[in-house]
């Protein structure tokens, strides 16, 4: 149960609504009625800790975020840090200067919304203690080391611990993966399954890396995402229910959509798109991306060899690719698709944040392991292969390559500047969607051949390719697989 949808009408309305906490809680009271009417039915719920977006964009925020977003994000970090007595004198001065730049009505309105959402989340913890929810997930959307949202999350976690709710509630970095995790938790409970996972990282430093939208190292992030599943880190591969290969940064997360540009050079587009090329060249994210692609501190070649060796042992293997944010590792993906054996993966993902990927991969892997133990039905086999194909086509083909090509080739050819913002003109959106459809239809062909050559699928088809939000950031499509 996504409480944000029931309470506000969705995740984005939870950021923009001006309603009172009383009105919001009033909509949620039907869950109490459901608990009374169906006492034996489990209710698993999630309510997102309101994010602090770090960019000047009002597309998913209140209108004033377009003018004040980046400053509000920085102020959020500095106010929290100062509240912990961890800010330097220079940071305290920067905090005061930023606060003076933010209009009082903006600051007050935003904090009223935050206070309401936090009050609702506190109330949901009360309801969990009362037994309304069997499990409550309070994920932190778009996290950092410090911020108003981090302060709230820490207070929620302290309340969870002090009230003895740690086996029934958690707050951790993530958001888009929570539906998958709660579904997998239900399956684990039904089966009496407590998954044990053995992680295998791509680089020696990878477990301790703090990725772009999280507040803890990758290894600790893995532990947090295991919590809703009742899972643990296995002491050895032999003791594990499945192995989790984690392709993680050696230094810092790069940006998925910059990989193609880093590999092929900005000079290829500088004449056609001087403003865009200039912006990318100055972006620290581009420099991080290039560094991660060229680093000798992790070896994708050895990582793939080890993955194939483990797949041959027939022990379940899942792959979480979090080296880059908002897209899979293009170098790794190019290697993987040379080997039909990867269709034997229990799960794969490389999308959006590290938390999004880890949660999705763990959920798919758990469901796959349970199916394998019982003997998967044809329907389960088809669903598993379809989701595996979807993640490869989306995370690897689209997010890491085709989206960038749409930005630097298709949009300019149609007379538009490169952008991932919403295309408000319906004709523009339709023209761009047609280009995306062409690209993904072509990209699906070698993946289809890969699945057929693996011997696990007779056929794969992709349909209804579209841009659900009329922007390039995300793509939607359906996959149907006919298993062998």
Q: Is the pLDDT of residue 234 over 90?
A: yes
pLDDT computed for residue 44 by the predictor: 96
**Helical ranges in 84-175 per DSSP H:** 89-101, 104-130, 148-162
Q: Is the pLDDT of residue 87 over 90?
A: yes
pLDDT computed for residue 294 by the predictor: 96
Window from 58-62, 91-95, 248-252, 267-271 with minimum mean pLDDT? 267-271
* CA 95 – CA 240 distance, rounded (Å): 48
Q: Is the pLDDT of residue 251 over 90?
A: yes
At residue 420's C-alpha, the angle toward residues 143 and 398, to 5°, is 90
Considering only CA atoms, which of 189, 197, 178 is closest in space to residue 365?
A: 197
pLDDT digits (tens, 9 = 90+) for 305-355: 999 999 999 899 999 999 999 999 999 999 999 999 999 999 999 999 999
Task: Considering only residues 346 and 266, tell me which one the structure prediction assigns the higher pLDDT.
Answer: 346
Q: Is the pLDDT of residue 284 over 90?
A: yes
Considering only CA atoms, which of 448, 458, 268, 247 is closest in space to residue 361?
A: 247
Q: What is the mean pLDDT of the chain?
A: 95
Beta-strand pair 476-483/457-466:
antiparallel
pLDDT computed for residue 419 by the predictor: 92
Q: Is the pLDDT of residue 144 over 90?
A: no
| Token output for 27 | 């909509």
Mean pLDDT of 191-210: 96
Which letter, b or e, does each residue of 242-259 get, where b requires 16 or more Cβ atoms within 10 Å of its Cβ?
bbbbbbbbbebbbbbbbb
pLDDT digits (tens, 9 = 90+) for 21-80: 899 999 999 999 999 999 999 999 999 999 999 999 998 899 999 999 999 999 999 999
Band of residue 141 on the pLDDT scale cut at 50, 70, 90: confident
Q: Is the pLDDT of residue 439 over 90?
A: yes
Q: Is the pLDDT of residue 134 over 90?
A: yes
Band of residue 266 on the pLDDT scale cut at 50, 70, 90: confident
Torsion of CA 316, 321, 323, 324, to 10 degrees: 180
* CA 22 – CA 120 distance, rounded (Å): 9
Domain boundary assignment for the chain:
3-171, 196-420
Which run of H or of E encompasses 354?
A: helix 354-374
Provide DSSP, 187-198: HHHHHT---EEE
Window from 191-200, 345-354, 419-428, 445-454 with minimum mean pLDDT? 419-428
Mean pLDDT of 362-385: 97
pLDDT digits (tens, 9 = 90+) for 207-223: 999 999 898 999 999 99
Task: Considering only residues 396 and 1, tell me which one the structure prediction assigns the higher pLDDT.
Answer: 396
Beta-strand pair 169-170/44-46:
unpaired
In what side-by-side order are the strands of the sheet with 135-137? 44-46, 135-137, 169-170
Which run of H or of E encompasses 478?
A: strand 476-483
Count other C-beta atoms under 10 Å from residue 296's C-beta. Answer: 7
Beta-bridge partner residues of 459:
482
């Amino acid at each position: 149960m996504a409480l944000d949808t029931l309470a506000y009408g969705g995740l984005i309305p939870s950021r923009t609504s001006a309603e009172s906490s009383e009105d919001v809680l009033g909509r949620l009271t039907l869950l109490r009625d459901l608990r009374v009417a169906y006492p034996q039915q489990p209710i698993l719920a999630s309510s997102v800790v309101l994010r602090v977006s770090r960019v000047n964009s009002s597309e998913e925020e209140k209108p004033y975020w377009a003018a004040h977003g980046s400053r509000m994000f920085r102020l959020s970090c500095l106010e929290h840090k100062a509240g912990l007595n961890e800010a330097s004198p220079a940071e305290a001065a920067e905090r005061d200067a930023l606060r003076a730049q933010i209009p009082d009505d903006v600051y007050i309105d935003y904090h009223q919304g935050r206070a309401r959402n936090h009050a609702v989340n506190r109330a949901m913890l009360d309801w969990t203690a009362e037994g309304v929810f069997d499990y409550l997930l309070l994920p932190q959307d778009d996290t950092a080391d410090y911020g108003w949202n981090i302060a709230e999350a820490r207070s929620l976690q302290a309340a969870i611990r002090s009230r003895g709710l740690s086996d029934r509630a958690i707050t951790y970095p993530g958001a888009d993966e929570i539906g998958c995790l709660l579904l997998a938790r239900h399956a684990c409970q039904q089966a009496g399954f407590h998954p044990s996972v053995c992680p295998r990282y791509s680089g020696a430093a990878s477990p301790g890396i703090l990725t772009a939208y999280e507040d803890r190292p990758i290894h600790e992030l893995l532990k947090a995402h295991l919590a809703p599943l009742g899972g643990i880190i296995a002491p050895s591969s032999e003791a594990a229910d499945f192995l989790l290969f984690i392709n993680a940064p050696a230094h810092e997360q790069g940006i998925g959509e910059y990989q193609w540009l880093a590999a092929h050079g900005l000079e290829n587009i500088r004449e056609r798109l001087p403003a865009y090329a200039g912006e990318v060249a100055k972006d620290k994210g581009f420099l991080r991306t290039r560094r991660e692609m060229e680093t000798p501190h992790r070896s994708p070649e050895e990582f793939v060899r080890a993955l194939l060796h483990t797949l041959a042992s027939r022990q379940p293997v899942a792959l979480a690719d979090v080296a880059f944010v908002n897209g899979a590792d293009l170098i790794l993906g190019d290697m993987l698709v040379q080997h039909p054996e990867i269709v034997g993966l229990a799960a794969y993902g490389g999308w959006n944040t590290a938390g999004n990927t880890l949660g999705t991969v763990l959920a798919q892997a758990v469901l796959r392991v349970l199916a394998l133990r019982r003997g998967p039905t044809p329907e389960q086999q088809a669903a598993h292969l379809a989701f595996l194909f979807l993640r490869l086509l989306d995370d690897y083909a689209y997010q890491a390559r085709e989206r960038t090509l749409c930005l630097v080739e298709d949009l300019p050819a149609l007379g538009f500047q490169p952008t991932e913002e919403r295309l408000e003109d319906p004709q523009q959106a339709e023209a761009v969607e047609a280009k995306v459809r062409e690209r993904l239809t072509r990209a699906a062909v070698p993946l289809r051949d890969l699945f057929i050559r693996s011997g696990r699928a007779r056929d794969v088809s992709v349909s209804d390719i579209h841009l659900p939000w009329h922007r390039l950031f995300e793509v939607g499509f359906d996959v149907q697989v006919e298993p062998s």
